[in-house]
Amino acid sequence: MSFERRSHPRYALTLPVIVFHEGIPVDIGWTQDVSEGGMRIAEVALDLERNTRVTLWIDSRHRGVRCHVPAIVRHTFDEGVGVWFVEPDRTHLNGLRAVLPD
């Protein structure tokens, strides 16, 4: 039997996210399994290698929040990527926490 070790709880949220690489928007997808430490992004066809730095713009209009968070590509899979958030400051974390369920 295996147990997952996660630092932060994950939430199954479906929110639009724009992925920027070097300041240029490169794809639009949908969040999945969002936590304060990272997320899975579905329906993107990025050709970015592991450890590539990106910026994510997450839109949660129903909560009146848009936030951006720096991240690193950690995993790629068919039509998606897994990212870790890197060096988020208080503004990034507050924005991210605002899109997560209470």
pTM passes above 0.85: no
pLDDT one-digit tens code per residue, 22-75? 999 999 999 988 888 899 999 887 778 899 999 999 887 666 777 888 999 998
Distance of CA 101 to the CA centre of its chain: 15
pLDDT (0 to 100) of residue 21: 94
The single residue listed with the structure tokens 């450890």 is 51
Q: Which class is domain 16-96?
A: mainly beta
Q: Which residues of 32-56 are buried (b: 16+ CB within 10 A; e: fewer)?
A: bebbbebbbbbebebebeeebebbb
pLDDT surpasses 90 at 88: no
Where do the domains of the chain lie?
Answer: 16-96
pLDDT (0 to 100) of residue 58: 87
Residue 66: Cβ within 10 Å count? 16
pLDDT, average across residues 73-85: 89
